[in-house]
């Protein structure tokens, strides 16, 4: 029987389980399966730290949604693992590598954590979108009984993971719990997609709610906040520095002009430490 410690955290209510396997010999999938089966634990994402593969990084990170699918980015989860690593090293910076690229993190004077999420990607194949829809001008979805508000002409962007962002005049009119899965699984998105619905409050402020790929409605989604901020700025509806209000709280997003990188800043919360039991001896132990 192998026991693996984990740390339960959250980023604005986005439920995160942090598992540090840099010194442990255990298969990430087995650990995530044990976390999913653990009574009383609910998480949106599990952030699994593995031994670093690149010089100058603290860990290679695998990101698992609650449905077991893997993701290339998780903004809220990255702030959580940065807090975990900085608490252990005593440094105020941390660097991670994921399938989506490098994530450079630092702690600010006020205790918040900033993450350089890299540059956004907009090309059809980078989102990715299906070639079947290459001549599509825009995506339109009926979102309620006939005549109800229809969302259309969304933005699509990859910030390490795929996002589609609809801009609406009244966020409350959209039943994202109902239409989120319809869009997440739409054939236009061969790797599925995170679905954001945003309302522009001012040139410096957005309101956003998110249906997450592989996790459903969450209280906050850092990468979706990045996607919405970049999309609003591209449409000249906001500037490049915006506050994004999510159901769980507020993030600041800066889309830098000089290097095109997106910097997300926000809080983290450490809830408790616990452990999970792994049945069989891990392969390669
Ligand atoms: N559901 C996302 C991963 C987690 C994103 C979110 N929790 C965040 O804070 O960015 C995906 O499958 O791409």
Which H or E run includes 32? helix 28-37
| Chain center to CA of 113 | 15
pTM of the model: 0.94
222 annotated as belonging to a binding site for a ligand: yes
Tens of pLDDT, residue by residue over 173-208, are: 898 999 899 999 999 999 999 999 999 999 999 999
Where do the domains of the chain lie, and which CATH numbers do they carry?
Answer: 2-118+268-278 (3.10.310.10), 142-260 (3.10.310.10)
Residue 189: predicted pLDDT: 94
More confidently predicted of 29 and 281: 29
DSSP state letters, 104-137 = EEEE-TTS-EEEE----B-SGGGTT--GGGTT--
**Residues forming the active site:** 74, 221
Ligand 1 pocket by Cβ (under 6 Å):
14, 44-45, 65, 71, 73-77, 161, 194, 212-215, 221-223
- At residue 100 the predicted structure's pLDDT band, cuts being 50, 70 and 90, is confident
Interval between CA 17 and ligand 1 midpoint (Å): 13
Percentage helix, strand, coil for the chain under 3-state DSSP, each rounded to 5: 20, 40, 40
Q: What is the ipTM of this complex?
A: 0.96
Question: Cα–Cα distances in Å, from 38 out to 35, 116, 269, 276, 277?
Answer: 5, 33, 21, 7, 9
More confidently predicted of 283 and 206: 206
Tens of pLDDT, residue by residue over 135-147, are: 765 666 655 555 5
Which among 17, 45, 64, 217 is the best mutation to test ligand 1's pocket, defined by most ligand atoms within 8 Å of the CB?
45
**CA-closest residue to ligand 1 atom 4:** 74
Query: Is the predicted pLDDT of residue 285 greater than 50, yes or no?
Result: no
Query: Is the predicted pLDDT of residue 234 greater than 50, yes or no?
Result: yes
Interval between CA 117 and ligand 1 midpoint (Å): 13
Interval between CA 74 and ligand 1 midpoint (Å): 4
More confidently predicted of 93 and 125: 93
Interval between CA 281 and ligand 1 midpoint (Å): 30
The percentage of residues in the chain with a pLDDT greater than 90, rounded to a whole number, is 83
Which among 221, 250, 265 is the best mutation to test ligand 1's pocket, defined by most ligand atoms within 8 Å of the CB?
221
108 annotated as belonging to a binding site for a ligand: no
């Amino acid at each position: 029987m192998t026991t693996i410690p984990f740390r339960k955290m959250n980023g604005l209510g986005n439920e995160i389980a942090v598992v540090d396997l840099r010194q442990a010999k255990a298969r990430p999938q087995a650990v995530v399966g044990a976390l999913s089966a653990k009574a009383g634990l609910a998480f949106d994402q599990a952030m699994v730290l593995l031994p670093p593969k690149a010089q100058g990084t603290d860990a290679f990170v695998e990101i698992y949604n609650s449905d077991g699918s893997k993701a290339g980015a998780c903004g809220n989860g990255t702030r959580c693992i940065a807090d975990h690593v900085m608490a252990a090293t005593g440094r105020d910076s941390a660097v991670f590598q994921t399938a989506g690229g490098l994530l450079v993190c630092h702690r600010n004077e006020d205790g918040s954590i900033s993450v350089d999420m890299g540059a956004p990607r907009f090309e059809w194949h980078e989102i990715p979108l299906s070639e079947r829809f290459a001549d599509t001008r825009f995506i339109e979805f009926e979102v309620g009984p006939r005549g109800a508000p229809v969302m259309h002409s969304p933005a699509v962007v990859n910030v390490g993971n795929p996002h589609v962002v609809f801009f609406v005049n009244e966020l409350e009119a959209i039943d994202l719990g109902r239409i989120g899965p319809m869009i997440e699984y739409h054939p236009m998105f061969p790797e599925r997609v995170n679905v954001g619905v945003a309302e522009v409050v001012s040139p410096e402020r957005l309101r956003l709610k998110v249906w997450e790929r592989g996790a459903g409605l969450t209280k906050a989604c850092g990468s979706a906040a990045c996607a919405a901020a970049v999309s609003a700025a591209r449409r000249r509806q906001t500037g490049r520095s915006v506050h994004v209000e999510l159901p769980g709280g507020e993030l600041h997003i800066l889309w830098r002009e000089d290097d095109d990188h997106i910097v997300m800043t926000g809080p983290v919360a450490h809830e408790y430490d616990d452990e999970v039991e792994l049945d069989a001896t891990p392969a390669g132990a």
